[in-house]
Each structure stands twice: as structure tokens, then as C-alpha cells.
Amino acid sequence: MEYRSVAEALFRRPEAPGKKGRVLSKREGRWVSGGYDEVRGNARSVACALGSLGHVKGERIGILSRSRVEWNTADLGIVAAGMITIGIYETSTPRQCAFILNHAEVATCFAENVAQAENLLSVADQIPTLKRIVLFDPASSIQHPGSSIQVLALNDLLSRGRAFDEGNSGWFDASLDSIGPDDTAIIVYTSGTTGDPKGVVLTHRAILAVTEATQRASGLSSGDEGIVFLPLAHVLQRTSNYVGMWVGASGAFAEGIDKLADNLREIRPTTFSAVPRVFEKIHARVLAEVARGNPRRQAIFRWAISVGKEYGRRVREKRPVPFGLRIRHTVADRLVFRKIKAVFGGRVRAAFSGGAPLSPEIEEFFDAAGVPILQGYGLTETAAPCHVNRLHDRKLGTVGRPIEGVEVKIAPDGEVCLRGPSIFKEYYKDPAATKDAFDEEGFFKTGDIGEIDADGFLKITDRKKDLIVTSGGKNVAPQPIENALKATGYISQAVVIGDRRNYVTALVALDPDEVRLWAGRRGISETGSTRLAEHPEVLAFVGELVAKVNADLPRWEQIKKFKVLPRELTIEDGEITQTQKVRRKVVGETYKTLIDSMYSEPV
């Protein structure tokens, strides 16, 4: 490893050859471009400002914001100061923010705007260590009576940092020199199945290892242009950013997921990382557009996709492409594929999908259209990618081969286990969970079930853990939500659903006695549990209970639809264990039709 830390690599590595990277963001309706020199300069000022405020190496600094260039600047400044970045999702509730900041003992937290700052101030009594909030967006003032927390603008912090740098010329270089490969760079909090999130400790060694290996596997170069729209609090987007800065590629920060379609056409990226839900939505939109066409256009579309699939299979398998097929493919490209590629801006050479499994059908569809989607696999604990398909070495339906330095084995029960320099160090302040995460040989137990084929490609076949990963790549811990539903007093059992789906739903069973009493008070004559479960007033009441639970959940965890079961789950039917734990697979099979009905129509 040539460099000792992420900061040293990104500040001292010579500029990548070729095109000099740009960083773009939209200001007042137009794209504004800046170079990496500007990012590094501002990051240096952030580092110096933190030092001037008395922060020392190893302290944790928070960032609560959507992905934007200032997030990147703050993160790079934090790690350059030898401190540790604590990223928080912009959609987190104040209670969730308070837990993370308190657990990490954060004294200074960057926040995107006044609204986010006020969210933090509303739970300030739960974060005794918090002394300061730095706003990315300028604001005249924030009123929060009784709070002693200082609120200042990023520009003021940068001015402070520049002044400190001028008066302490050797401080910044000494800071870079003090950071070792085994020092912690970032702590990423990830939802656990028991409720409270765990802090995944990632060292500079781990991030450097995954950055270098991912760059070699992806082929990303200084000539590439990407677009950033996933949360930087998520390790996948963070790693992608580090890789881009490593090679000097250009990158644009999207205005938001709601503007992604417009931004893709405007930026015309050559590559980007996304979660499956993005590709699912585009796929659905393309098919809907085709369905509105006349029969002739629909027939041409089907023909083109069949040609593209045959062409793609031969290319992937490194078999000769017959002359006639090449001609048909050229025609199909002119008639159909160019329009599909235009949705992504028309220049994408490869897109990367991670965070959740991508349907093989969608993967093959885009491959046929000339937009290769390279599936990868990784967890927060692996600093994002540990496996990835390469552009010229891939198999659809798999997550590829391991990246350089990662060892993989399949445990006797089928669990995928990993070892290597990019694996996390520990769970912050949780030695018991850390010990449980590794086997006796030092392999990290992923909790996923998989198989490795004869060519070394990994296929994930199941999930060992209860943790739900939506098709949008969001982690959802079902047990806290289920417990909240049961805490209403009227719901005796709840099963939250959403793994590999695009939103969360729930099956609920009602407490027979409590619901009968509730119904009696309202003059509802039905007394049987099955009849009550179907009664409109009961369903409306359950909807109110669900809404109350949703009110304290971030958007991606909220229950979009629910179904009331005709009876409670039983031990006799194998739906729950002797200790009342839900057998999710059995419930999923028993109520498959009911579950599927909640996803058959748009929300």
C-alpha cells in the first residue's frame, strides 16, 4: 500500500493523467463546475478549522445532509484532520440522529440547512456532547430558546480555517503525517435486527484497499464522468466517491432523486453507481412507453430486444458474433437501443448496481440494450464492494468474483464468509457483537447464503439474517417496527415485509379480546375474529394505528400497505416457534397471495 491514509492519498497523490477532474453542482438552475484543487483547498480549511476549535485526532464529527459537494468537502476535511466522519441519512428522524450522535459522542455536526439544524436542536437534551452545528446552507439565524449549542455557517468555518492555516503553516502536513493505516477513518451506522444501529468501524487501510481494488475492477479512469445521487452516508456511494477522486474522474452531484432523469440527460455520465430500484423504475417506464405504441412499434421493440440478448450472450461468453447478427444488432441499435440509452444520457459504458439484488430479467434487458449493469456485492462491514462483475468478465445473475485481497469461503450452512484488508475492524463500543461477527479463522460472517460456481462467481441465494434490504438498497430492521405495532395493544402479531421489494408492507394479526371490546364499544355486532378482521371500521382503525407507528419512522421504513390476517399465527401450523418467534419463510409461503396483492398495484 503506497499511502498510509485516505487523506494522504487524496491530498498528495499526483494528478491522474489525462483530463483533469471536475466537480459539478447545480446553482440557481445552472451547473457550476469546480476542480479538485478547490475541493481539496476547502477540505484543508475544514481540517484546520476543526483543529482550531480544539478537536483532536480520533474525535468523531457528524454530517447530516443529502449528498452534495459540501458533504464531500466536510468528509475529506474531517479525515485529513485525523478525525472520524459519522454520516447520518438526511431522512433520519430526530430520535435516530440523537442515538447516533450520542453513541459516537459527537461535539460538532455539519447539517445541510436550518430544518436539519432544528431537528438536532429539538433533541439536544439527548446529545450532551453536542456543542456546535455547522450549516452548509447560509442562514440569518436560528431561534431555539435555552440552547447553548453554537450554530455557524460553513463559510465562516472556512474563513476560520484559512486564518488558522496561515498562522500554523505546519499543522496540516503534520496532521496528515500522524494518520496511520490502522487508524479509524469513518464509522458507518447500520440498522441491526434488534433495533438500535451498530457503528461499523472502517480504518484507512480498509478504505484504501477497497478503493484501489475497486478501481482496478471497474476500470474507472480520469476520462470518466459520474453522477452522485445515492446518500453519502451509505458506504457504497462514499467508496464510489473515493474511487472517483483517486483517479481524477469528474463527478456531478444530482439535485435529488426526483430530478435524476433530468440530471442524467444533462450530465450524460459515462458511469455511475445505483441501487436496483433506479433500474426497476426506468425499466417500467420504458415498457409503459412501448405499451402505448402501435402494434408495429411493439413488434420492432420485441425483435430488437431478442437480437440484443443473443448478441449480448455471445459477447459475454466470448464467442464469435456472426456477420448477420452484427448487422441486425446495428439496425436494432438505431431503431430501439439508442432511445433507451438516451434515458441515461447516451454515454454510459457501464453502470454499477449494489445494495440489493437486481432481477436477472432487468439485468439482461439493459445489457441487450447496450447499458451493461455490473452487479456487485458488499456490506457496510466490507467497506462496500467485496465482489463485482467486470465489464469483460461477468455473469448475469451473479455478483461477480471477489475484488483483489478478499478471501471468500462458504460455511457448512451456506453462509458467505469473508476475510481481507477491506473488512471492518469492529462494531463501535460493542465487543460482544464484534466477537459474534467473526469465526475462529477471522472470517466475517455476512449473514447471507450463497454459492460459488466453478468459475469463481458468487451467487447470493438467500438471507440468513432477518434484516430487510429493499430494492432501493435501504436497510430496514423489522423487529422494532413489529414491536411498535404490537405496542398499540390491539395488534398481537406483526410481520414486516419488504426484502427485495420496492416498499415495506405488513401482515398483522389482531388481539381477539381487545378488538372485540373495541368493536362492542362502537356497536359493531360481529364477534368472530375473521369477520372483525374484514370489517371496514376495524380496517380503518388498524390504518390509524399503522399511521401512528409510521409517524416516528423514516420514509423508507414506513408501512405503505397492510393486510389483517383472519387469525393469529400458531405454533401448530409452524408459523411461530415455541418461543413465539415468527418463522418468516413459512409465513411468506402461507400468505404468498395476500403478500403479492400488496405489490400488484402502485402505492
pLDDT in tens, 295-329: 999 999 999 999 999 999 999 999 999 999 999 99
Helix (H/G/I), strand (E/B), else coil: 110? strand
How many of the other CB atoms lie within 10 Å of CB of 80? 25
First to last CA, the chain: 49
Instruction: Identify any residues that bridge with 60 across adjacent strands, giving them in sequence order.
Output: 84
In DSSP notation, 251-267 reads EEE-S-GGGHHHHHHHH
Q: Please, which pLDDT band fits residue 142 given cuts at 50, 70 and 90?
A: low
Write out pLDDT tens, residues 499-524.
889 999 999 998 887 788 888 888 88
Helix (H/G/I), strand (E/B), else coil: 268? coil
**H/E segment holding residue 494:** strand 491-497
Write out pLDDT tens, residues 253-264.
999 888 999 999
- What pLDDT does residue 507 have? 96
Return the CATH class of domain 477-597. alpha beta
Dist CA 358 CA 399 (whole Å): 10
Unique residue bearing C-alpha cell 453513541: 103
Do 88 and 189 form a contact (C-beta atoms < 8 A)? yes
Write out pLDDT tens, residues 453-480.
999 999 987 667 677 889 888 878 787 7
- 444-452 β-sheet, strand order: 407-410, 415-419, 444-452, 458-463
Is 179 a residue whose pLDDT tops 50?
A: yes
Per-residue 3-state assignment (H helix, E strand, C coil) for 39-78: HHHHHHHHHHHHHHCCCCCCCEEEEECCCCHHHHHHHHHH
**H/E segment holding residue 241:** helix 235-247
Mean pLDDT calculated for residue range 224-242: 92
- 198-203 β-sheet, strand order: 150-153, 132-135, 108-111, 60-64, 84-88, 184-190, 198-203, 426-427
Per-residue 3-state assignment (H helix, E strand, C coil) for 532-556: HHHCHHHHHHHHHHHHHHHCCCCHH
Closest to 269 in 3D by CA, of 278, 260, 277: 260
The grid coordinates listed for 203 are: 480504518
Strands (E) in 68-170, as ranges, are 84-88, 108-111, 132-135, 150-153
**Does 112 or 138 have the greater pLDDT score?**
112
Unique residue bearing C-alpha cell 475541493: 39
- What pLDDT does residue 491 have? 85
Dist CA 215 CA 603 (whole Å): 39
Write out pLDDT tens, residues 39-86.
999 999 999 999 999 999 999 999 999 999 999 999 999 999 999 999
Q: Please, which pLDDT band fits residue 527 given cuts at 50, 70 and 90?
A: low
Dist CA 48 CA 539 (whole Å): 58
Question: Amino acid letter at 345?
Answer: G
Q: Please, which pLDDT band fits residue 146 given cuts at 50, 70 and 90?
A: low
Q: Phi and psi dihedrals of 369, rounded to 5?
A: -85, 0
Give alpha helix (H) positions in 426-553: 431-437, 478-486, 512-521, 529-534, 536-550
The grid coordinates listed for 465 are: 439474517
Q: Do domains 6-180 and 477-597 have the same CATH topology?
A: no
Which CATH number among 3.40.80.10, 3.90.870.10, 3.40.640.10, 3.40.50.980 corresponds to the domain 6-180?
A: 3.40.50.980
Q: Is 86 left (phi over 0), alpha (psi -120 to 50) or beta?
A: beta
Is 19 a residue whose pLDDT tops 60?
A: no
> What is the maximal distance between C-alpha atoms in the chain?
82
Dist CA 48 CA 168 (whole Å): 9
- What pLDDT does residue 579 have? 46
Q: Please, which pLDDT band fits residue 193 given cuts at 50, 70 and 90?
A: very low
- Percentage above 90 pLDDT, the chain: 68
Dist CA 147 CA 143 (whole Å): 9
Dist CA 418 CA 408 (whole Å): 5
- 401-402 β-sheet, strand order: 271-274, 350-353, 373-379, 384-388, 401-402
The grid coordinates listed for 52 are: 482550531
Is 28 a residue whose pLDDT tops 90?
A: no
Do 320 and 314 form a contact (C-beta atoms < 8 A)? yes
Is 144 a residue whose pLDDT tops 70?
A: no
> Could you tell me how far CA 592 lies from the centroid of its own chain?
27
- What pLDDT does residue 91 have? 82
Arithmetic mean of pLDDT over the chain: 90
- Decide: pTM greater than 0.75: yes
Write out pLDDT tens, residues 268-290.
999 999 988 788 888 878 887 88
Percent composition of the chain: helix, strand, coil (DSSP 3-state, to 5): 40, 20, 35
- What pLDDT does residue 580 have? 63
Is 143 a residue whose pLDDT tops 70?
A: no
Do 497 and 469 form a contact (C-beta atoms < 8 A)? no
Do 367 and 396 form a contact (C-beta atoms < 8 A)? yes
Q: What angle do CA 499, 501, 506 make, to 5 degrees?
A: 70
Per-residue 3-state assignment (H helix, E strand, C coil) for 276-319: HHHHHHHHHHHHHHHHCCCHHHHHHHHHHHHHHHHHHHHHHCCC
**H/E segment holding residue 337:** none
What is the four-CA torsion angle of 362, 363, 368, 370, rounded to 10 degrees?
110
Is 578 a residue whose pLDDT tops 50?
A: no
Write out pLDDT tens, residues 334-381.
999 999 999 999 999 999 998 777 878 889 999 999 999 999 999 999
Strands (E) in 345-454, as ranges, are 350-353, 373-379, 384-388, 401-402, 407-410, 415-419, 426-427, 444-452
Domains of the chain, residue spans: 6-180, 276-463, 477-597
Write out pLDDT tens, residues 534-546.
889 999 999 999 9
Return the CATH class of domain 276-463. alpha beta
